Structure 1
Amino acid sequence: MPIRQALEGHQSWHRRLTVPQFTVVTGLLVILIGTLLLATPLCSRDSVGLWEALFTATSAITVTGLSIIDIGEDLTGFGQVVLAGMILAGGLGLMAITTFLQGFVVRGTGLRRRLDRGQTLDEFGVGGVGSTFRGIALTAAVVILVGAGILYSFGFTDISDPGERLWAAVFHSISAYNNAGFGLWSDSLERYQANLTVNGVVMVLIVMGGLGWRVTSDLASQGFRWPQRRRRRLSLHTRLVLRTSALLICFGAVGLAITEWLNHGVLFLDMSWPRRLMTALFESVTARTAGFTTVPLSVTNITESGTLLLMTLMFIGASPGGTGGGIKTTTVAALMAATRSTLRGRDCIVIRNREISDKVVLRALGITVASLLFVLAMALLLSMASNLNGKDDFTFLEMLFTCISAFATVGLDLGVTAELGRFGQLVLLVGMFVGRLGVWLLLSAIWEMMIWNQRHIHRQNQVGYPREDLYV
């Protein structure tokens, strides 16, 4: 009898998983499957071993773009198709997919608990995960196909072979919309630096993927209502995301052009001002978790101020529910609003004539602090590994840049990733996984695995404590 109970408990372990735990487990399983596929001769050349396949699969599922192999040379055609499939799985929402699947697995879980746990993810709404996911997939398919069509017809016209050009257009459209940054060429998009069509299409795809489903759906609903005189007002979330994203893109583009010009950097050397502004705009957009680049990035051709600016954009990242990473635009907006309210002596946080809950600000603060600490821990481990191996090839700025790029799932590289040892690449691999899932979700999964059960936590939340001031 005890053996039977133990077997039944073992078989139903997955039904006791919460959404954060289920997301972590599913993410690891998908990465494992992708690793085994990429390591086979059907997908890769002899130069790709199990470690290279693991790093590439993790980078694809987390839509980061950091790579220690040459995608166009080391992967076969079928391997590139598998890689594109993993990018779609991760970009269209690893969290959305696992939440959708959990509806068929966690059958014994009540609706109220599922909705409560679902808030740890990106709150898809009461309408249901299934319908939301179908909307996400349909929107992504339309945008990717349109982008691929334009790239095929007007962008990659230098590729003479129609089949090769079609695959290049589809692959880069998938990679751009999902903010992955994977390219079929070792120089990313440097060969198309002066191509206005390629630059424009890739930037639009990156921005649309990074805005998030809520914003896209809200804007689409406005488009369907345009003949009517009275249209529903855009939600606060949509307005805040659009305004913050536009300000960050403009700030990054103008700031990068000015800093490189004033500090006599070689990043935009011998470029006309129109081309320089277009390149700066592209780098500003791609630094928001995309990873493509039209100029070679290294410490020798970009100034420290420009590097710091890119690191700031990478750390902020995209918007909630989007295909990008980072701490999110709304997190920064909430913290800035809290700072403004503090300076004005207000007791509440107000954004666009709307009062924001203290819980939102506390969560934004928690995400920011936890992300900063995690990135610093990554940089510390990389520097320790470098010192232990007796290598002084990389500066701390290069290592910090790479850590932020991995954690924010950006994929921009200063030439560090491929030169690191296995331990350093392992640090980046863990950083990519944690950054894609989110520090908040990972902490929730770990917290729920601890000894304290939910009943005890509920009793703790009902306990009141005396107040006392703290000087800050």
Structure 2
Amino acid sequence: MPLRQAIERSQGWHRRLTVPQFTVVTGLLVILLGTLLLATPLCSSSKVGLWEALFTATSAITVTGLSIIDVGADLTTAGQLVLAMMILAGGLGLMAITTFLQGFVVKGTGLRRRLDRGQTLDEFGVGGVGSTFRGIAATAALVILVGALVLYGFGFSDIPDRGERLWASVFHSISAYNNAGFGLWSDSLERYHDNVLVNAVVMVLIVMGGLGWRVTSDLASQGVRRGRRRLSLHTRLVLRTTLLLVVFGTLGLALTEWLNRGEVFIGMAWRERWMTALFESVTARTAGFTTVPFSLENITDSGTLLLMALMFIGASPGGTGGGIKTTTVAALMAATRSTMRGRDAVVIRNREIPDKVVLRALGITVASLLFVLAMALLLSIASNLNGAEPFTFLEMLFTCISAFATVGLDLGVTEQLGRFGQAVLMLGMFVGRLGILLLLSAIWEVMTREQIHIHRQNRIGYPREDLYV
């Protein structure tokens, strides 16, 4: 009888999962499937074992780009195709895909669950996840196709074999749009550091993928020509914040490396310096491609710190990138400005922002900071236990932020870490891609067996009291 009752309780377990739990389970299953595929002789060489396949699959599904293998040499054409498919799955939005699949396994979904699912998808809407997902897929296919055609016809013209050039164009277009950072060459895009067209195409793909579906849909439906005022506040805020971050990062990198005489720009003409600074400013916000070698020997501490800030902020909500998101930073900056002016409400462009949005932005930022520091602490402890400290704390912190923000920039640390350190990075990549609050919600629901409904109103009131901060 106990065995029969246990079997009955286990049946239909997937239908009892909440949205955060279903997202976590589905993400783990996809990573497991990708690991098994990449570890087969059809997809990889003998150098790629289960551990290397697991790390690569995790990095691909989370569109990070950190790697402990040489994608071009260690993976076969079939393996590279599988890797590209995993990048597409993760880049188009792991939460969007899992919520879309949830419609097939959770029957009798009512309006309340549909509202919760819409909120999980960055408020894509109540009308239907399917239509939104089709729009995302169509937009991605069009942008990736155009990028691949331009790279094939003009960018990678130095590759003589047409089949190899075509695959390189398609793979890098997929990787760039999904902000993955995976490349077929061990030096990323360093061989094209002075190619204006390759730099421009990759940067455009990165930015378009990182803007998010809500922004691209708003631009397509309203049209810039109809007037800037017709665009939503979210779209205008994302566009403005993205532009400011790109300009700030470009000027910051160019000035810090010039004033501190960093080796990364040595021997470059001024035009090439500005193009490199622009490219690294764009790619630092969760893309992971690089046109110059990265290490603490050829980039200054101030430049490294600037890149860490850009990586931590990341892309925009609903996009293919990671980080705490541009709108989160914009909300916190607006809250700071309101506090300095003595206002009780947070106002952005004559629109009052709800308190719950500001609290969510604050929660995301604090939780992300604590998680990254915990990752760096674990790497530091593991290094000390091994009796040697081959890396500085700045290198470890940079790598942890790169993993958590799903960037993929590396100072040469990832491949030399032990398995414990690489496991910490895999955890950081997974948590960073799913979202720190989503994961905490899933854990809380398991521990308390209480479902968290985002739209549920709290009818309990509490007395208020001031707190000095």
Matching of residues 272-291 of structure 1 within 5 Å: 272-291=269-288
Secondary structure (helix, strand or coil) at the match of 1:350 reads strand
Moved more, 3-12 or 428-437: 3-12
8 Å Cα contact 1:15/1:108 also seen in 2 = no
Displacement of 1:391 in angstroms is 1.9
Where does residue 181 of structure 2 map in the other structure?
Answer: 181
CA deviation digits over 1:318-342, x for unaligned, max 9? 0000000000000000000000000
Identity of aligned residues (%): 84
Secondary structure (helix, strand or coil) at the match of 1:450 reads helix
Matching of residues 202-351 of structure 1 within 5 Å: 202-223=202-223, 226=225, 233-351=230-348
Label 1:253 to 1:76 Cα distance change in 2 as closer, same or farther (>3 A): same
Secondary structure (helix, strand or coil) at the match of 1:119 reads helix
Where does residue 125 of structure 2 map in the other structure?
Answer: 125
8 Å Cα contact 1:266/1:302 also seen in 2 = yes
Displacement of 1:454 in angstroms is 4.3
Secondary structure (helix, strand or coil) at the match of 1:467 reads coil
Where does residue 58 of structure 2 map in the other structure?
Answer: 58
Where does residue 18 of structure 1 map in the other structure?
Answer: 18
Moved more, 232-241 or 204-213: 232-241
CA deviation digits over 1:390-427, x for unaligned, max 9? 12210000000000000000000000000000000000
Secondary structure (helix, strand or coil) at the match of 1:89 reads helix
Aligned mates of 2:384, 2:452 — CA distance in 1? 47
Displacement of 1:91 in angstroms is 0.2
Matching of residues 431-442 of structure 1 within 5 Å: 431-442=428-439
2:369 is aligned with what amino acid? Answer: L
Where does residue 169 of structure 1 map in the other structure?
Answer: 169
1:395 matched to 2:363? The reply is no
Label 1:457 to 1:136 Cα distance change in 2 as closer, same or farther (>3 A): closer
Secondary structure (helix, strand or coil) at the match of 2:378 reads helix
8 Å Cα contact 2:116/2:453 also seen in 1 = no
What TM-score do you get using the length of structure 1 for normalisation? 0.97
2:78 is aligned with what amino acid? Answer: F
Kindly report the root-mean-square deviation, in angstroms, between the aligned alpha carbons of the 2 structures.
1.8
Secondary structure (helix, strand or coil) at the match of 2:264 reads coil
Aligned mates of 1:97, 1:126 — CA distance in 2? 16
Displacement of 1:115 in angstroms is 1.4
8 Å Cα contact 2:203/2:282 also seen in 1 = yes
8 Å Cα contact 1:19/1:118 also seen in 2 = no
Where does residue 80 of structure 2 map in the other structure?
Answer: 80
Aligned mates of 1:456, 1:196 — CA distance in 2? 49
8 Å Cα contact 1:222/1:232 also seen in 2 = no
Label 1:456 to 1:255 Cα distance change in 2 as closer, same or farther (>3 A): closer
CA deviation digits over 1:149-182, x for unaligned, max 9? 0000000011000000000000000000000000
Displacement of 1:429 in angstroms is 0.5
Aligned mates of 2:8, 2:93 — CA distance in 1? 32
1:162 is aligned with what amino acid? Answer: R
Displacement of 1:191 in angstroms is 0.1
Displacement of 1:451 in angstroms is 2.6
Displacement of 1:98 in angstroms is 0.3
Where does residue 31 of structure 2 map in the other structure?
Answer: 31
Unaligned runs of 5+ in 2: none
What TM-score do you get using the length of structure 2 for normalisation? 0.97
Displacement of 1:7 in angstroms is 2.8
Aligned mates of 2:313, 2:451 — CA distance in 1? 33
Aligned mates of 1:232, 1:335 — CA distance in 2? 23
Aligned mates of 2:44, 2:13 — CA distance in 1? 36
Displacement of 1:450 in angstroms is 2.2
Where does residue 144 of structure 2 map in the other structure?
Answer: 144
Secondary structure (helix, strand or coil) at the match of 2:107 reads coil
Label 1:295 to 1:356 Cα distance change in 2 as closer, same or farther (>3 A): same
2:374 is aligned with what amino acid? Answer: A
Aligned mates of 1:47, 1:456 — CA distance in 2? 46
CA deviation digits over 1:106-160, x for unaligned, max 9? 1144221231254134221122100000000000000000000000000001100
1:426 matched to 2:423? The reply is yes
1:195 matched to 2:195? The reply is yes
